[in-house]
Structure 1
Amino acid sequence: MVVRIATFNINGIRAAQRRGFETWLREREPDVVALQEVRARASAIPDGVFGEHHLTYEEGTLPGRNGVAVLTRKEPDAVRSWSDTVLMRHPGDDHVDVIELDRAPLARGLKEFADQGRYVEVDLVDAPITVASLYLPKGGLPAHLQKPGRMREAPDGGARYDRKMRFLDAFARQLSRSRREARAAGREFLLMGDLNVAHTRYDVRNWRRSNQAEGFLPEEREWFSSLLSPRTLVDVVRSHHPDIDGPYSWWSWMGQSFANDVGWRIDYQLVTPALARTAVSAGTDRDPAPDRRISDHAPVVVDYDLDALPTAAT
């Protein structure tokens, strides 16, 4: 059984719908989709925009910002989040169900981010996989790298940088816990989302000029490396495209970045090794032209042949 799984930062569901999200979903037929930056109250999500998929949504408490979701063909077997509730909508419904959760203990330092709509995970009912959707804070530059007049945003003394580093530290602990809990339950684990970090030189087109840019700082890249190993998690797209530039998943709306493929690879599927070995294809759905872009991000899509999973995992 081949299962198509995608992650997509849609940069606002209503804008994405106007730009062709429903067409992409219908034509690509993913079985599971992790979404980031849905940016809408559940009541404001357009009816029918997710087709025949079940929606599990953590909208957060920041109006018009963040919001993560997982779309599945069947209703999930279980749902977890960092907050007390998640929202669910079934195909054909014109209402949203509020699902009360028993908030699990969070890793030290994660509480300040718990209600921001940054993380939700589900257990698939038809496959031994736990799927998580993450939207990691963009961050900023440390204070010593901030130069007034050379930044798009006003200097903040390193506040955004410090906030992101706190998140990275706490989330690494939480991720290890989630992965181990999935393993104890006999499930593979799949973390997807916009991690706002480009890991290697192959993940940024202009990598030499980006060494002092947020998202490509040495400490961010070192953190990313700490998540990966042959025994924990595998960057499945990179394993299919070793030592090549890209495939990028984000391009600025400005100038000719998209046309010239001056991009960053910051959207990932990080997968437990046994599941990674079942991947038969992996890449990004780059839009065909600048005027046909659904988002400033492209979907990252991987096909997994679950018949190749070890018998013990099923």
Structure 2
Amino acid sequence: MLRVATFNVNGIRATQKRGFTDWLDERDCDVVALQEVRCPVPMLPDGVFGQYHLSYDAGQLAGRNGVAILTREQPLDVRSWGAGALVRAPGDAHVELREEGELDALARELKAFTTEGRYLEVDLADKPLTVASLYLPKGGLPAELQADGKNGRDKPDGGAKYQRKMRFLKGFARHLTKARRTAAAQGREFLVMGDFNIAHTEHDIKNWKGNLKSEGFLPEERAWLDEILSPRTLVDVVRRLHPDEDGPYSWWSWMGQAFVKDSGWRIDYHFATPKLAKLATSGGTDRAETYEARMSDHAPVVVDYDF
């Protein structure tokens, strides 16, 4: 059995204080993908990752982004888009820098994101599996849907954040195809996990009618997920396990009664190659029992694979 989790921690230092290390010990995962680690390597809390090997692209934006993958054994290979990945063994203060692959091979739309700590990919040493951790840009609204900024939302930007996200989506679709095919050529399955910042269907957001013109649930964003998912390419593993349910949601606002009322969004995913997806035996969201027990505004999404 292979237990795999993805978790947007929204700052590892804050999440550790709320019980991250205890969760990590109790869940006993084999692989954990993390997003929004938001911590320079020298400031990572001591012992926060226990006995796991750490692969980490912190990016170059102070206090923002950062993706990591925790594994039982040191991966065979580690690949990032930017200034390389930092690789550290359990209890080892030494950090090894693994250089990234040729940037010429990266989709041109993604080259503007290479220093932001948004994507990391590893080849497991003990399983024929390539695992990726993604933090996809949140984006914004197209210009025609933006208000005057007086309603407390982001100030109008002429659709700049929206256009930036759409460029990322265009390039990342090609990147996924290439990564999946590269893994297959090496006899490996492929699994990309993380915070995609898009709710796919009406089952993936509590108040879907009220969010039809909200970033993260725009028709063009949802159509992009339609394009990358199929029975022959990548499969939404948790939705396959829970085909007709609302949720299980993975993100709730810190504000108001969103968490108490379970008014959430499902935006954190396991997207797996079809053979691997069929091996998933159980999975869902580790939703905290109370608001006070939350580690992050996201919850871990954990899946067991008979792999």
TM-score, length basis structure 1? 0.96
Q: Quote the residue 1:310 is aligned against.
A: none
Work out whether 1:246 is the aligned partner of 2:266.
no
Q: How does 1:40-51 map to 2 (within 5 A)?
A: 40-51=39-50
Match of 2:28?
29
Q: CA deviation at 1:93?
A: 1.1
CA distance in 1, matches of 2:100, 2:214: 38
Structure 2 equivalent of residue 108 of structure 1: 108
Give, in whole Å, the separation in 2 of the partners of 1:299 and 1:144.
35
Residue 33 (structure 1) shift: 0.2
Q: Tell me the equivalent position of 1:61.
A: 60
Q: Find the aligned partners of 1:200 and 1:102 in 2 and give their Cα distance.
A: 35
For these two proteins, the number of residue pairs brought into alignment is 305
* Per-residue deviation, 1:173: 0.6
* Structure 1 residue 151, shift from structure 2 partner: 4.5
Q: Is the 8 A contact 1:123 1:130 kept in 2?
A: yes
The answer for the alignment partner of 2:282 in structure 1 is: 281
Could you say what the CA RMSD is over the residues aligned between the two structures, in angstroms? 0.9
Q: Distance in 1 between matches of 2:191 and 2:44?
A: 26
Structure 1 residues 170 and 259, CA gap change in structure 2 (3 angstroms): same
Q: Residue 312 of structure 1 corresponds to which residue in structure 2?
A: none
Residues in 1 aligned to 2:186 and 2:101: alpha-carbon distance in whole angstroms: 18
Identity of aligned residues (%): 63
Deviations 1:184-220, CA, capped at 9 Å, x for gaps: 0000000000000000000000000010000000000
1:127 corresponds to which residue? Answer: 127
What is the rounded CA distance, in whole Å, between the counterparts of 1:132 and 1:102 in structure 2?
A: 15
For structure 1, which runs of at least 5 residues remain unmatched after alignment? 307-314
After TM superposition, give the deviation of residue 79 of structure 1 in Å: 0.9
Query: Hey, what does 2:140 align to over in structure 1?
Result: 140
Counterpart-to-counterpart distance in 1, 2:180 and 2:79: 13
SS in 2 for 1:14: helix
Q: Tell me if the contact between 1:81 and 1:103 (Cα under 8 Å) persists in the aligned partners.
A: no
- Structure 2 distance, partners of 1:200, 1:261, is 17
Counterpart CA distance in 2 for 1:281 and 1:185 is: 27
**Normalization by structure 2: what TM-score?**
0.98
Alignment partner of 1:216: what SS? coil
Deviation at 1:97, TM superposition (A): 1.9
User: What residue identity is the alignment partner of 1:113?
Assistant: F
**Post-superposition CA distance 1:10-56 (Å, at most 9, x none):** 00000000000001000001110000000011111011100000000
Q: Which runs of 4+ in 1 moved over 4 A?
A: none
